Amino acid sequence: MISISKRAQAIQPFHVMKLLARAKELEAQGKHIIHMEVGEPDFNTPQPIVDAGMTAIRKGDVHYTAPMGLPALRKAIAQFYLQQFQLTISPERIVVTPGASGALLLALAAIVEAGQSVIMADPGYPCNRNFVSLLEGQNQLVNVDADTQFQLNKALVEQHWRENTAAVLLASPSNPTGTIIAEKTLNEIIGFVEQKQAAVLVDEIYQGLVYDTLPYTALSLSNNIFIINSFSKYFSMTGWRIGWLVVPEAFIPVVDNLAQNIFLAAPTPAQHAALAAFNPETIEILEQRRREFKQRRDFLLKALPKLGFTIPVKPDGAFYIYVNCEALTDNSFQFAEQCLEQAGVAITPGIDFGNNKAEKYIRFAYTTSLDNLKKAIERLEQFISDFGK
């Protein structure tokens, strides 16, 4: 028998995968399932992006690009920072990556030495930890709650700082909570970490999906941080696998080398398609969708508390609501299982985002139509009134 590496053994499958498999079985039996577990927009890729991708493919533009990406796309992303945030970011600092996954791996590989630790919030996006483990780094999960908007702050970072901490990873808006980190808090963290000569990484993949404020980038505060972004969520390009990374000036050569070696380059059709992502015509489509996401969020923010869920913090963005379900159950995974079986509503249990009181939390994704959400709430009402009887 060939040994399986410890790091591979340590990775847990997402619990929601088990629910998804069961949902498929139920669907195969003809049962109607409302999917509120999926971290993927229900919208198709906007037509201008699709058209740009198809044109490139038709023209045979499907060869390797440079490892850092198409120069035109790196320029377009720089232009996006200028237009949206009045920031001048050199295209040289922008790396086009195969999704945010590629960006995270690249950034962490450039920063984290074996044995060094990365501070991140719990609850948080679970893959982050596994990138750190892949590089033989250590995860320092820091429990966060409603008191800090489920975000880290300087006091928490300082309190958990170790001699060997290499980086702090933030996400704003966050998955699963949808909260954004306050500019002041972010600035304080950056100041502290810079003084420690360590790195701040900010995952901004839900940047464009905010509902009560304007989009924001941590690049406004410092050029000496790493920004992870993606065309998947706001731009509805999930399966194309394309994102980007902004690095400090000094990291350009090493990140170029790493990109060449780790993934060669992001998919070429996706890069050409993404050239149309910032067109006014595309943005108009995306802004319409953003307004629809807001409607869905606002509907759930009213409906879920009536069912007995507590919403500890109003989510600012993304397409998730992270609810406390302890008034209804002390086992959110079991609750999710039964909810699927009996109500035909698929949701994600807290355990998929960490260990911090995970059994008391559930994530609702509003990546399905308002009609479906309304149906889901009706079904949940019935289910909850039967639950535990």
Name the residue nearer to a copy of itself (CB basis): 98 or 308: 98
Helices (H), 87-209: 99-111, 127-134, 154-160, 183-195
Q: Closest separation between CB of residue 237 and a copy of itself, Å?
A: 7
Q: Closest separation between CB of residue 131 and a copy of itself, Å?
A: 7
Whether the CB-CB separation of 207 and 286 falls below 8 Å is answered with no
Q: Closest separation between CB of residue 244 and a copy of itself, Å?
A: 16
Name the residue nearer to a copy of itself (CB basis): 261 or 334: 261
Q: Closest separation between CB of residue 260 and a copy of itself, Å?
A: 7
Question: How many C-alpha atoms does 383 have within 13 Å on its Cβ side?
Answer: 22
Q: Closest separation between CB of residue 296 and a copy of itself, Å?
A: 18
Q: Taking the chain, what is the end-to-end CA distance rounded to the nearest angstrom?
A: 49
Whether the CB-CB separation of 335 and 329 falls below 8 Å is answered with yes
Name the residue nearer to a copy of itself (CB basis): 167 or 376: 167
Q: Closest separation between CB of residue 343 and a copy of itself, Å?
A: 24
Tally the residues of the chain. 389
Name the residue nearer to a copy of itself (CB basis): 276 or 380: 276
Name the residue nearer to a copy of itself (CB basis): 241 or 289: 241
Name the residue nearer to a copy of itself (CB basis): 62 or 370: 62
Q: Closest separation between CB of residue 26 and a copy of itself, Å?
A: 17
Name the residue nearer to a copy of itself (CB basis): 241 or 360: 241
- DSSP of 1-33: -PPPPHHHHHPPPPHHHHHHHHHHHHHHTT---
SS3 123: coil
- Burial (CB count <10 Å: 0-12, 13-18, 19+), residue 37: buried
List strand residue ranges (DSSP E) for the chain, in order. 34-35, 94-97, 117-122, 138-143, 165-171, 199-203, 226-230, 243-246, 320-324, 345-346, 348-349, 361-365
